[in-house]
Chains A and B, each alone.
Chain A
Amino acid sequence: MTIVQVLIVAAAALFWGLFMRERGRLYFLLITSIIVIFWLQPALPLRGFDFWLPTATLAVIVFNWYITALEESHREKKNWVTLSILTGAVLLLNLTRFLPFDPILTPSRPPQTEILLIALAGLGFLFFFVTRLKRFNASLLSISIIGLIIFFLALKVPALAYWVSYGIRSLTHQSLTEVKGMDLRWLGFSYIAFRIIHTLRDRQMGRLPAVDLAEYVTYVIFFPAFVAGPIDRVERFIKDLRQPAAALGNDELLVAGQRLMVGLFKKFVVADALAMIALNDTNALQVRTAGWMWILLYAYAFQIYFDFSGYTDIALGTSRLLGIQLPENFSAPYQKPNLTQFWNNWHITLTQWFRAYFFNPVTRWLRSWEKPLPAPVMIALTQVATMLLIGFWHGVTWNFALWGLWHGVGLFIHNRWNDMTRVRASEWATTPFRKTALNVSGIFLTFNFVALGWIFFALSATSVSWQVFLKLFGLG
């Protein structure tokens, strides 16, 4: 997001917070969020896809609401109203193609209206067909999870993304000479998929609260958190959403404004300045000495933190203007004395998601074996697998796999080390000085371990990452 886009989004939230706070919050959030997903979607070289992808986002959300919602709520009038709003909004956005000036709300001129009408009719037919499959409802939840994961892989595996783009270009008779994996940049899909999978799994477990369509759509594409999270939980989100919004008081405005300003400063001043010197594919092979390589690596470590936590602050500040308190996503992660604590404080909502829907169930499953694996093996397996998946969430490449592996192994080593030394460490650290020394050395080691892991994250090629490692230790 550019600073102008951030300010427009914040201004919209402030406008509502100041003047309309007690009226129609749900529909304000719903309609604004719909507009924002079209508006922020980057222009794509695949003709019309920068309109089709946000439309598909809405279709996927409606479908998943349908299969997760209680049957009696399907026919509730308010849900039909919401469906009409969604369809109407997409149609109106499409009709902006007839305006005599360049599109403002969509990245390029929307596709022909008759094609959209045919697509909507097709979706309607598909929807009708699915509603007839009542007895398969339970399977639909699993099918949808698998479908979302397949979509996810199609976007995140470079080779798959390439072939999907190739296929689309072939079908739509577009040039095949410039096919790229990046042709299909579906803005926010990683977050959308994870929010939806959370609702699907909770529905399977019987934990999902009753949520109407408007609430569900707003939860998944809530505009302050659409691009960079946090990944809220639906039950927490709707609790805020259903509470009557009090007038925006001075204190609330101050707290929200402060958070927003801090976020803007972190992202657009600190992170963007650090980005100029942060480690990347170009400069990785240009740096002449180990000392400067460390500086570029540290610059990257702080850049990614300020960038990401800055966006989070912006999201939290903006949502607070709207009376929604999104969960924190960062809590001084670089000041933590060990890797476990680091991961409890870095991208907190993503880590919690994986803990809830992967780590804990897999651990429970492994423990349920008749002859359970030895504890260290179980810990190694679950931690490495979880971190590998977190790596793949960012992109299915060797470097993200190595980054996940680095942290998975790191967490396992810390776990074992902690078990072995906890008693001795507490016996030794009897004075404030010793406690501080232990804490500071822990912070130093953890930060440098995390920083070294960023090498895989910042660079796209394994060979270059290896060369950077060598250079850092004076071997290259």
Chain B
Amino acid sequence: MKTLNIILKGLSLFIILNILFALLQPGIGRISAYNLIFPGRERLPFGENSAKAYNLSLFDLDAMFASHEINGSQKAADEFRVILIGDSSVWGTLLKPEETLAGQLNSAKLTACGKNMRVYNVGYPTISLTKDVLLLSRGMKYQPDLVIWMTTLEAFPLDKQVASPLVANNKDSLLRLAASFGLKVDPNDPAFVGENVWDRTLIGRQRTLADVFRLQIYGVMWAATGIDQVYSTDYQKAQTDFDADPSFHKFGSSVLDEKSLAMNALETGVKLVGNIPIVIVNEPMLISNGKNSDIRYNFFYPRWAYDQYRALMTGQSLNHRWTYVDLWDAVPANQFTNSAIHLTSLGETQLAKKITPIITAVCK
């Protein structure tokens, strides 16, 4: 009987804890050892080889931002705070934190509007404007003085918006953005990871909780080594020879139909920042001169689609009075690494030099 009593009591306690957890939904992710015991990470956590990168991909935005250095730095009166958002090119695939665009801008110790400029890397791998808006909505809590939104055509197609796992796993946050800022979100999109009551219990959330826990443990390795990804030099170079394929997503007729692009996400992002200046940058991409480069610029884009996109963005920015900068050809082809948008450290330096006057121009 004693054993049975113990088992029954243990089981009851476990069930009660699960129910309480499902009802209260405590923000476990907000509790973080980063910026407390360990230094904050210089970019959001992302990693596919945790054991070597001392990093991992998780979808709890609270935990992600809690581990970021931006969460641990009180904004000083003389700080000009810049938030950089965008895809893996901003996050800095294959680059050390100091080699990324944010890292290079910071190491230049620039001033803007009479204040010390401090740039925070809030970029995140996967290409989707909706994902950028999601991160921007969180980033706004940290009182930026300027937002720089690096983007590219691949982030625009509607079918790309929820494809990012970060977006697919944060339906509630997106629905809140939809309600507050008019972000177009289809709540019935099958790409969303559904959540029922079971998913909200301790058992249902075991993966999320384990990820948050692992992220804290990897804080030791981040603090000890400063490594947050595998900085491989043995990678396959970005493709420069292509098949004679003019296709781009589902745009079959050589017309980049605006209705199939997530312009609304871009508008939502601008609305979200309110009076804070925002600069939208068409990020540099690899312009190939290899086989069939008369048809395609690179792996992502046929020439027709990209040319139309650039014209469209110029028109849209004029219509909406957005600060828009087109840096599509700012970096030569030999400064790209394993993708048509990933830059080398030197490429980032070149880009940083182009971005610097844009930032200082904001103050005028």
A interface list, Cβ under 8 A from B = 250-251, 253-254, 257, 273, 276-277, 282-283, 286-289, 292-293, 295-296, 299
Q: Answer whether residue B120 sits at the interface, using C-beta atoms and an 8 A cutoff.
A: no
B6-A254 in contact (CB<8A):
yes
User: Ordered nearest first, which 5 A-B pairs have the shortest CB separation?
Assistant: A292-B224, A250-B3, A286-B225, A277-B220, A287-B224
List, in ascending order, chain A residues with CB within 8 A of B225's CB.
283, 286-288, 292
Contact B226 A288 (CB under 8 A): yes
The residue that A250 contacts in the complex, of B2, B52, B218, with Cβ under 8 A, is B2
- B-chain residues with CB within 8 Å of residue A254 when the two chains form the complex: 2-3, 6
Contact of B221 among A250, A283, A289, A293 (CB under 8 A): A283
- Enumerate 18 A-B pairs (CB-CB under 8 Å) in ascending A order: A250-B2, A253-B3, A254-B2, A254-B6, A273-B213, A276-B214, A276-B217, A276-B218, A276-B221, A277-B217, A277-B224, A282-B51, A283-B225, A286-B227, A288-B225, A288-B226, A292-B220, A292-B223
Q: How far does the Cβ of B328 sit from chain A's closest Cβ, in whole Å? A: 37
Question: How many angstroms from the CA of A292 to the CA of B38 in the assembled complex?
Answer: 11
B residues within 8 A CB of A295?
A: 220, 224
With a CB–CB cut-off of 8 A, which chain B residues contact A292?
A: 220, 223-225
Query: Assuming A277-B221, A296-B224, A299-B220, what are 11 further A-B pairs, CB within 8 angstroms?
Result: A250-B3, A273-B217, A276-B51, A276-B214, A276-B221, A277-B218, A282-B51, A283-B221, A283-B225, A286-B225, A287-B225
What is B's interface to A at a CB cutoff of 8 Å? 1-4, 6, 50-52, 213-214, 217-218, 220-221, 223-227
Query: In the complex, which residue of chain B has the Cβ closest to the Cβ of A250?
Result: B3
- Bound complex: CA of A223 vs CA of B217, how far in Å? 33
CA distance A293 to B217 in the complex (A): 15
Q: Which residues of B contact A283 (CB under 8 A)?
A: 221, 224-225
Q: How far is the CA of A433 from the CA of B223 in the complex (A)?
A: 38
CA distance A73 to B218 in the complex (A): 59
Output the least CB separation between B5 and chain A (Å).
Answer: 9
Chain B residues whose C-beta falls within 8 Å of the C-beta of A277 in the assembled complex = 217-218, 220-221, 224
A334 to B44, CA, bound (A): 38
B219's nearest neighbour on chain A, judged by CB, is A277
A282 CB contacts on chain B under 8 angstroms: 51-52
Contacts of A250 in B (CB 8 A): 1-4
Contact partners of A273 in chain B: CB under 8 A: 213-214, 217
In the complex, the chain A residue whose C-beta lies closest to that of B3 is A250
Given A254-B2, A282-B52, is A288 in contact with B214 using a C-beta cutoff of 8 Å?
A: no
For residue B107, give the distance in angstroms from its CB to the closest CB of chain A.
Answer: 18
Of all chain B residues, the one with the shortest Cβ separation from A258 is: B6
Say how far B209's CB is from chain A's closest CB, in angstroms.
12
